[in-house]
Structure 1
Amino acid sequence: NLSIADVLTGLQTGMLNAFYNLPYGAVALQWANHVKYVLDYPVTLATGGVVISTKAYEKLTEDQRAYLKDLIEKRFQDASKALVQENEKAFDEFKGKGLKFTKIDENSPELKKILDVFKKVHEKFKGELYSPQAYDKLMKILDDYRKTKK
């Protein structure tokens, strides 16, 4: 495993020639300065959430709960929109630097390998960064969603 700082060093020295990150993150961390290609495939890095104890939540009135829910939804929507805009700016920057965009066939063995690695990484952190129950529930929701989109 590499730290975020080690990725930049690895790219600068040639020890690494690829990375996984959002476009905005690749620009902010200066990783994009060290590659020639961008995989034109949607990625999502979603970490975070709002946690409140049952005890604290139960102390809230119904009006306070409704307000809290609306506030959280609005803030997450605002943050999501801002991130989309920053990623679009980063893509424009990639194009301006002459990076080449490559596509991948949805049914290719290469994409299957990439997705298998993602799954292994997610599984590795199950129980460490997030509870196994939360992970399993999220994976079920994701699988159900993907089935409806096919």
Structure 2
Amino acid sequence: EKKGFVLIGWAEVGYVYIFTNEPVKNLDDFKHLKIWMWEGDPVAEITFKEFEVNPIPLSVTDVLTSLQTGLINTVYTSPLACIVLQWFTKLKYVSDIPLTNSMGAVLISKRAFNKIKPEYRQIVKKRGYEYFRRLTEISRKDNATSLQKMKAQGMQTLKLSTPENLKKFQKIGDKTRQDLVGKFFDQALVDQIQQALLEFRKRENASEGNVQ
């Protein structure tokens, strides 16, 4: 709110997987792929730079045609989006691990929010939290179902979750995050998120230990 906005809610787009027509086995194989990149996405640009990949920037509306013509042979998206956009009809493989969990938020400027009657402002926030949480639950279910349907129709799974690949993924993720510091967020925010993640994992491990 210090920046002049009010958060109404967070929602997940879903886990983002690699979908391709090539049976890649490791991260070095990525260098030979014709990978689509969302045009104008600086985060994706920095990420692919760390992968040592030269992506092909296109708008979302051009992806299906580009898959059909062979201009690209690899995309990254959620399973639900892959079905809705019909990209899956031109793809053969999906990675067994996601690249990231894509999320989005709805913000309202303070100026607009303050036009709402004071007695209704907390209601808007509360309902926003409730319904975006519900939307996330629906999204998770739909994405899981979408992935199952694509596999049932013949899409094959790429085994990329080997110890060696996971180590490289982690290294690239760490480097990309540091490259983004100062461009999209500061180091203090990264440290805060890392600490919250550490505490969450400790609670999860403790909970699993109690169950056992």
- How has the CA–CA distance of structure 1 residues 137 and 117 changed in structure 2, closer, same or farther, with 3 Å as cutoff? closer
Which residue is 2:154 aligned to? 98
Post-superposition offset of 1:22: 0.4
Tell me if 1:37 matches 2:93.
yes
Tell whether the 8 Å contact from 1:37 to 1:99 is kept in structure 2 after alignment. Answer: yes
Residue number among 48, 67, 70 corresponding to 2:126 in the alignment: 70
Q: Which runs of 5+ in 2 are unaligned?
A: 1-56, 203-212
Counting matched residue pairs gives 140
Which residue is 2:195 aligned to? 144
Which residue is 1:13 aligned to? 69
Structure 2: how far apart are the matches of 1:58 and 1:117? 43
Which residue is 2:11 aligned to? none
Residue number among 47, 50, 56 corresponding to 2:107 in the alignment: 50
Quick check: which one's strand share is greater? 2
Percent identity reads 24
TM-score, length basis structure 2:
0.53
- How has the CA–CA distance of structure 1 residues 138 and 25 changed in structure 2, closer, same or farther, with 3 Å as cutoff? farther
2:73 alignment partner, SS class: coil
- How has the CA–CA distance of structure 1 residues 15 and 82 changed in structure 2, closer, same or farther, with 3 Å as cutoff? same
2:198 alignment partner, SS class: helix
Structure 2: how far apart are the matches of 1:47 and 1:78? 14
AA matched with 2:196: Y
Tell whether the 8 Å contact from 2:113 to 2:121 is kept in structure 1 after alignment. Answer: no
- How has the CA–CA distance of structure 1 residues 36 and 78 changed in structure 2, closer, same or farther, with 3 Å as cutoff? same
Q: Deviations over 1:85-119 (max 9, x none)?
A: 21022112112111112342365255247647975
Structure 2: how far apart are the matches of 1:11 and 1:60? 50
Residue number among 137, 143, 150 corresponding to 1:87 in the alignment: 143
Post-superposition offset of 1:20: 0.7
- How has the CA–CA distance of structure 1 residues 33 and 118 changed in structure 2, closer, same or farther, with 3 Å as cutoff? farther
- How has the CA–CA distance of structure 1 residues 55 and 91 changed in structure 2, closer, same or farther, with 3 Å as cutoff? closer
